Amino acid sequence: MAKGTNKNITPSKKTLPKTATGIAGFDEITQGGLPAGRPSLVCGEAGSGKTLFSIEFIVKGITLFNEPGVFIAFEEKAEELSMNVASLGFDLKKLMVENKLRIDYVHIDRSEIAETGEYDLDGLFVRLSHAIDAIGAKRVVLDTIENLFLGLSDKGILRAELRRLFQWLKEKKVTAVITGEKGEGTLTREGLEEYVSDCVILLDNRVTNQISTRRLRIIKYRGSVHGANEYPFLIDEDGISVLPVTSLRLAAKVSSARVSSGIPTLDDMLEGKGFYKGSSILVSGTSGTGKTSIAGSFAYESCKRGERCIYFAFEESPEQIIRNLRSIGLDMTPCIKKGLLKFQSSRPSTYGLEMHLVVMHKLIKDFKPDTVVIDPITNLITVGSASEITSILTRLIDFLQTQQITVVFTALTLNTLIKEQTDESVSSLVDAWLQVRDIELNGERNRGLYIMKSRGMKHSNQVREFMITERGLHLEDVYLSPEGVLTGSAREAHKLQKKTEEILLKHSLIRKDKEIERRAQELQFRIRTLTSEFDSLKEELNYQSVEGQLKKDVLEANRKELIRLRDSTRNEQYVSLNNNKKNKGK
Amino acid sequence: MENEQTWELRLYVAGKTPKSVTALKNLKKYCETHLQGKYQIEVIDLLEKPQLAEGDQIFAIPTLVRKVPEPIRKIIGDLSNEEKVLVGLNIVPVTPN
């Protein structure tokens, strides 16, 4: 991977051939490792990790790259060395039996040596040459060659011989590491840096505020670009891990996949889908606002999806967190048993900030989680300044992004001072920022959650009431009333009031319905009466008109009868004449 | 008593370099003078037997090692200073009358 990075950066230029050391992180910062076939100087004070660096260079060379190595020890016997590094899981004896490793202890005891006349270090050359040839070594370590100066008094000869030795090592085409102890005002006591001019690495162990941090710096690397910063490194049961301070590029892959926050109602606020995978989320709030609960439910949800999660706790022990999360209905123990969840609790003051970063880095590399929780980042302020935290977080976020790991940080906003310092500076780094606030109203303290920002999505702009219940977390829908957003019992009261109003309204509606029905019935009744009245009137009128007609007919008939009766008293002729007239008329 | 003991001396060299030749010549001279008849010199050429270098902890050439009498003493260099060699090997000089 390291070699690949190297190629990417200088694709066209011919670079110095390099030998990967296999030391975690070191090959990244040197873009490939140590100069191949040349000697490099590793210097530092006593106890700075020089011997460990060099032995790891040899062992990793054998185990990872199948390059046999020779270790010339001037300080420790082979057995002592094996014992010392056995705790790191390096089995030197096995490697020696397999003919991959040669340890040659050069013992120099001034008391049994006298010098007279001219000499050279051919004996050392012969031993080295013999060891290299016997196993076909590609890597050589001389630890610490300056011990020669303690045993021999003729410095003139020694200097000339060392110069010859380094030249000889180059001719042998072995990649060599020479260690040297730091001197007064110089990198090494005897000025070895004058002879080994290709690559000089300084190891340092500084104590600030009673916290020691190991640092590594590349002072010189001829013919190669290299990071000039001080890189913190860690020595633990797996050896050395160096942490690259900053990656130079902002070129991390991005994903449009989403991961749930573990709180469905919160997901709803984020387009209903949750956060982007590989993004960084900051949850800030005053104490007791439920930051850990949010972080916990995020971790829980991620384990439920079958993803791996590391929970870095700087405030509480794992047991405490598990107990507390159980109270809101999240049982983390099965996740831990399945190996999906890992708690890493440490006091901020355990190490310096840099070391915290190295430890996190290493754990993340080993555990390969999909999600990471850091709870809370603000506790780290006890071991570093705000600007240091920002720098640490930048690097951490950067690293997590390249690994496509979603991370949730919690931050405590104590007062304006810390708020200004941490939140503001961190805010530009994170992709999403949730703020949990206290809302004090009507003698109550409720929690309100809102999304300060969420890059690349349409998120809700509303303040939601954040509820912590024994069945988990959820956000209560915005409750708008004429007086504004209501929370807590004010919201409940308002809800009750509304409910009452609803019942009353329903009741009055029923009454109105009944009224209408009654009115309708009444009207119908009246319509029926009127119709019958009308009918009788009509009948009456009909009757009258029939009666009139009858009267008229009867009168007519009577009149005719009278006429007939009167006419019959006249002559018959007249009657017959009258009858003829009548017939004609028909 | 000490006079009865045979001195076992080893001279480590790496090829026939001028320094080695000088050292061997000097050594022989001193032994003939002071330890006549009771010494053995073994010359080990490390170019031929490099594996022997480790046993006597040789790193400089030439190195003279006094194996017997014990304790082991080492003298490195071309042995050009007789006095230093004699002191280094703890040889009681035979003063010529």
Chain A nearest C-alpha distance from B65 (Å): 9
Give the confidence band of A6 by pLDDT, cuts at 50, 70, 90: very low
- Of A261, A264, A300, A309, which is closest to residue A282 (Cα–Cα)? A261
Q: How confident is the model at residue A419 (pLDDT cuts 50, 70, 90)?
A: very low
> For residue A323, what are the contacts with CB-CB under 8 A and spacing of at least 6?
none
Assess whether pLDDT exceeds 60 at residue A342. yes
The β-bridge relationship of strands A341-345 and A309-313 is parallel
> pLDDT band for position A534 (50/70/90)?
very high
With an 8 Å Cβ cutoff, are A112 and B73 in contact? yes
Measuring CA to CA, which residue among A579, A118, A109, A559 is closest to residue B21? Answer: A118
The burial class, CB within 10 Å (0-12 / 13-18 / 19+), for A346 is middle
d(CA A171, CA A164): 10
CB A371 within 8 A of CB A381: no
Residue B2 has pLDDT above 80, yes or no: no
Mutate to test the interface with A, among B29, B76, B84 (most CBs of A within 10 A): B76
Q: Is A110 on the interface with B (CB under 8 A)?
A: no
With 0-12 / 13-18 / 19 or more C-beta atoms within 10 angstroms meaning exposed / middle / buried, residue A438 is middle
Contact A123 B81 (CB under 8 A): no
A577/A574 Cα distance (integer angstroms): 5
Which residues from B are below 8 Å from A when comparing CB atoms? 12, 14-15, 17, 19, 22-23, 26, 46-47, 50-51, 53-54, 57-63, 71-81, 84-85, 87-88
Residue A250 pLDDT exceeds 50 = yes
Contact B50 A127 (CB under 8 A): yes
Give residue A228's pLDDT.
Answer: 74
Nearest to B62 among A119, A125, A127 (CB): A119
On chain A, the residues whose CB falls within 8 A of the CB of B81 are 116-117
Listed in order, strand segments (DSSP E) in A254-386 are 258-259, 275-276, 280-285, 309-313, 341-345, 371-375
User: For A368-417, what is each residue's pLDDT tens digit?
Assistant: 999 999 888 877 776 666 667 777 777 788 788 888 889 898 888 765 44
A430-452: average pLDDT: 81
For residue A402, the Cα-to-chain-centroid distance in whole angstroms is 12
CB A348 within 8 A of CB A382: yes
Q: Check if the beta carbon of residue A434 is closer than 8 Å to that of residue A284.
A: yes
User: Given 3.40.30.10, 3.40.1110.10, 3.40.50.720, 3.30.300.20, which CATH number is that of B2-81?
Assistant: 3.40.30.10
CB contact under 8 A, A116 and B79: yes
Question: pLDDT per residue over A180-230, tens digit each?
Answer: 888 777 777 777 777 777 888 999 888 776 677 788 888 888 877 777 778
From the list A259, A465, A486, A248, the residue with the least C-alpha distance to A372 is A259
Q: Quick one: pLDDT at residue A397?
A: 83
How many other C-beta atoms lie within 10 A of the C-beta of residue A503?
Answer: 10
The tokens for A441 are 């109203």
Q: Which two tokens stand for residue A109?
A: 């005891």
- Predicted confidence band at A254 (pLDDT cuts at 50, 70, 90)? confident
Q: Is it the case that residue A1 has pLDDT exceeding 60?
A: no
pLDDT above 90 for A525: yes
Structural contact between residues A129 and B47, judged by C-beta atoms closer than 8 angstroms: no
Q: pLDDT tier at A245 (50, 70, 90 boundaries)?
A: low
Say yes or no for a CB contact (<8 Å) between A122 and B14. yes
Beta pairing partners, B42: B10
Report the length, in residues, of chain A.
586
- Residue A420 is predicted with a pLDDT of 46
The alpha carbon dihedral of A92, A94, A96, A101 has a sign of negative
Tokens of A444: 């109550």
Domain-by-domain residue ranges, chain B? Answer: 2-81
A118, A123, A130 member nearest B12 (Cβ): A123
Number of other residues whose CB lies within 10 A of the CB of residue A167: 12
* Gap between the Cα atoms of A445 and A570, Å rounded: 129
Pair of tokens at residue A568: 């019959």
Contact A309/B at CB under 8 A: no
**Pairing mode, if any, of strands A211-221 and A199-208?**
antiparallel
Rounded mean pLDDT, A550-557: 91
Query: Between A556 and A223, where is the model more confident?
Result: A556
Q: Does A121 touch chain B (CB under 8 A)?
A: yes
The structure tokens listed for A185 are: 């005002």
| Look-up of token digits 């979603």 | A406
Query: pTM score, two decimals?
Result: 0.65
Kindly provide the b/e burial profile for residues A363-393, where b requires at least 16 CB atoms within 10 angstroms of the residue's own CB.
bbeeeebbbbbbbbbbbbbebbebeebbbbb
Q: Is A77 an 8 Å CB contact of chain B? A: no
Question: Alpha carbon of A341 to those of A282, A299, A307: distances in Å?
Answer: 20, 8, 9
Integer Cα distance of A203 and A47 in angstroms: 9
Alpha carbon of residue A186 to chain centroid: 45
pLDDT tens digit string along A38-75?
889 898 888 888 888 999 999 999 999 999 999 999 88
Burial class (CB in 10 A: 0-12, 13-18, 19+), A394: middle
Contacts of B79 in chain A (CB under 8 A): 116-117
From chain A, the residues in CB contact with B84 under 8 A are: 114-116
- At A497 the pLDDT is 87
For the domain made up of A2-242, give the CATH fold.
Answer: Rossmann fold (3.40.50)
Task: For residues A143 and A120, give the distance between their C-alpha atoms in angstroms, rounded to a whole number.
Answer: 19
* Gap between the Cα atoms of A141 and A177, Å rounded: 5
Q: To the nearest 10°, the Cα dihedral for A7, A10, A16, A18?
A: -30
- Which residues are within 8 A (CB) of A563 and not within 5 positions of it... i.e. 6 or more apart? none
Question: Which residues have C-beta within 8 Å of that of residue A304, sequence separation ≥ 6?
Answer: A335
A348 has pLDDT over 90: no
Show which of residues 128-147 on chain A sit within 8 Å of chain B, judged by CB atoms. 129-130
Mean pLDDT of A143-158: 84
The chain A residue lying nearest B12, using CA atoms, is: A123
Residue B88 half-sphere exposure, CB side, CA atoms within 13 Å? 28
Query: What is the per-residue pLDDT for A457?
Result: 84
Q: Which of A120-129, A484-493, B61-70 has the lowest mean pLDDT?
A: A484-493
Task: Tell me the residue ranges of DSSP E strands in A351-457.
Answer: 371-375, 406-412, 432-441, 444-454
**3 state DSSP class of A346:** coil
Segment A296-301 mean pLDDT: 89
Q: Do A112 and B19 touch (CB under 8 A)?
A: no
The CATH code of domain A258-478 reads: 3.40.50.300
Q: What is the pLDDT of residue B1?
A: 42
Rounded CA gap, A274 and A265, in Å? Answer: 10
* Interface contact A123-B58, CB threshold 8 A: yes
* Mean pLDDT, rounded, for A445-473: 82
Which chain A positions have a beta carbon within 8 Å of B50's beta carbon?
A: 126-127, 129-130
pLDDT of residue A426: 67
Range A515-539 average pLDDT: 93
Nearest CB to A120: which of B61, B71, B88?
A: B61
Spatial distance between the Cα atoms of A124 and B54, rounded to a whole number of angstroms? 9
